[in-house]
Amino acid sequence: MDWLMNGIAPTLARIFVVWIFPFSCLDKIINWNEALKQATSSWLPGGPILLILAMIVEALAPPMIVFGFYDGLAAFVLAGYCAVTGIVYHAFWSYPRFWSPRSEGYPHIWDFFKNFGLVGGLIFVMMTSGFLQTATASIEDARFAACGVEAASSCR
C-alpha cells in the first residue's frame, strides 16, 4: 500500500491538477482568433503578448510540476496565472443578476471558482515541494540581514 500512497497517488494528483493546461494551450493555438478576442477583452494592455505568455505558462509549468523540476516555482507561477485570469476574465460580479442562469455572467461564476480550486491544488504542490518553506526562510534571512545581527531580536 506504501507504493500507492507515496508513489502513484501523489503523481496522479499532480497530473490531475495540471492536465487542463496543455489542452488549454492547444485550444489557444487551434482557436487563435477566439483566444485573442478573449485576451483583448479586459483592461490589461498587450493582448497578443499576454496570450503568448499564457501559452508558454500553460505548456511549460505542467510538466515541471509532474516531473518535479522546479515544481514549487512552476506551481507558484501557475497559481498566479489562475488567480489573475479568474479575476480579470471571469469577473462574474460585473454582470447584472449574475446568479440567474439566463445571465451572461452565470458561466463566469463557475469558471472563477474552478480557477481558484486549481489555485488551492497548486498551493498543495508548493507545500509538498518545500517551496513555501524555502520562500519563508529566505524572507526571514533577508529581514534579519537588513536589521543586522545585533538588532535581530528587536526586528521581530
List, for residues 53-95, the tens digit of each pLDDT value.
Answer: 999 999 999 999 999 999 999 999 999 999 999 999 999 999 8
Residue for cell digits 502513484? 8
List, for residues 124-153, the tens digit of each pLDDT value.
Answer: 999 999 988 887 777 777 777 777 655 555
> Quick one: pLDDT at residue 140?
76
Assess contact for 76 and 70: CB atoms under 8 A: no
Domain ranges of the chain: 2-155
Take residue 71 and report the three cell numbers written for it. 515544481
Q: How far is CA 77 from the centre of its chain?
A: 6
Residue 43 DSSP SS3:
coil
Tell me the backbone φ, ψ of residue 90, rounded to 5 degrees.
Answer: -130, 45
Label residue 155 by pLDDT band (50, 70, 90).
low
* Cα–Cα nearest to 10, from 57, 54, 67, 63: 67
pTM: 0.82
> Quick one: pLDDT at residue 133?
81
Residue type for position 155: C
> Quick one: pLDDT at residue 18?
97
Three-class secondary structure assignment of 3-20: HHHHHHHHHHHHHHHHCH
> Quick one: pLDDT at residue 77?
98
Q: Which residues, 6 or more positions from 123, have their beta carbon under 8 angstroms from its beta carbon?
A: 75, 79, 132
- In order of 22, 46, 103, the CA distances from 56 in angstroms are 10, 15, 33
